[in-house]
Amino acid sequence: MTDAPDAPVVPDPSDPRTQQTARSFGGAASVYQASRPGYPVEAVAWLVGDAVTVLDLGAGTGKLTEALVALDRDVIAVDPVEEMLEELEVRVPGVPRILGVAEEIPLDDDSVDAVVAGQAWHWFQSERALPEIARVLRPGGTLGLVWNSRDSREGWVREAGELMHERYDASTTYASTVRVGPPFGRVEEHRVEWVQRMTRATFLDLVRSRSHYLTASPDDQRETIAAVETLLLTHPDLAGAAELAVPYVTHCFRSRLEG
């Protein structure tokens, strides 16, 4: 993990290569759905407060949508990748699904109490997305941003991240990524530490759901999977374990629309 704490999560959301990488998830929607973790109830409840109608922006396969529905919120899901929304329909049937992007949100003015983005803000062009988010929010509405990151303080987790070619330690970069500014007020921060239990096979699917893997060559993909599989079989902290206890930190940020 060599990036400095203030390094951006992605190089430039407006770069066509970045946009292509973001859309690469469509080809692995089912793997993404099966392997990526959900969000702790405590984190999601803090994120949206008393909001009733919530836009899940960049909803993907519905990991955050599912948590919002469980909290009895009225949710609208927007994502630019049709395959991801198809997975969302299977997991959270009945939630309105709309193809669209953060920079041109397909909703009316003043139509939702909160806009949330799970694992997605770093893909948005914030200078274009923020005015759109402010437009669809009702006065005093909430913008909530959340990321799950594996806790790299655990040695084997850190080693796996290096093998997966992760360019940054996510636990140190998200705060610097969340710069919203007017018309939004002060950004509040909250974090929840928890553990996700999974099989080795599911962890390997997690590797296959990462953007670096999805855009790598077939040879690089095979090499990455083989290296991570070896780590999971040989690391002394994992030897003989029937399943993996993967530590996560959920990073939450929220800001209210002013004026």
pLDDT of residue 30: 60
pLDDT of residue 211: 74
pLDDT of residue 214: 80
pLDDT of residue 173: 58
Closest CA to 255 of 145, 147, 142: 142
pLDDT of residue 167: 58
SS (H, E, C) the chain: CCCCCCCCCCCCCCCHHHHHHHHHHHHHHHHHHHHCCCCCHHHHHHHHCCCCEEEEECCCCCHHHHHHHHCCCEEEEEECCHHHHHHHHHHCCCCCEEECECCECCCCCCCEEEEEEECCHHHCCHHHHHHHHHHHEEEEEEEEEEEEEECCCCHHHHHHHHHCCCCCCHHHHHHHHCCCCCCECCCEEEEEEEEEEECHHHHHHHHHCCHHHHCCCHHHHHHHHHHHHHHHHHCCCCCCCCCEEEEEEEEEEEEEECC
pLDDT of residue 213: 79
State the 10-residue block means of pLDDT for the chain, 259 residues long.
33 45 48 69 96 97 95 97 92 95 97 96 92 98 94 91 72 70 94 93 86 84 93 90 91 93
Closest CA to 123 of 206, 208, 17: 17
pLDDT of residue 14: 47
For 16-150+168-196+248-256, CATH number out of 3.10.50.40, 3.40.640.10, 3.40.50.150, 1.25.40.10 equals 3.40.50.150
pLDDT of residue 1: 26
Tokens encoding 31:
């793997």
pTM given for the model: 0.80
Strands 53-57 and 74-79, bridge-based pairing:
parallel
Domain residue ranges in the chain: 16-150+168-196+248-256
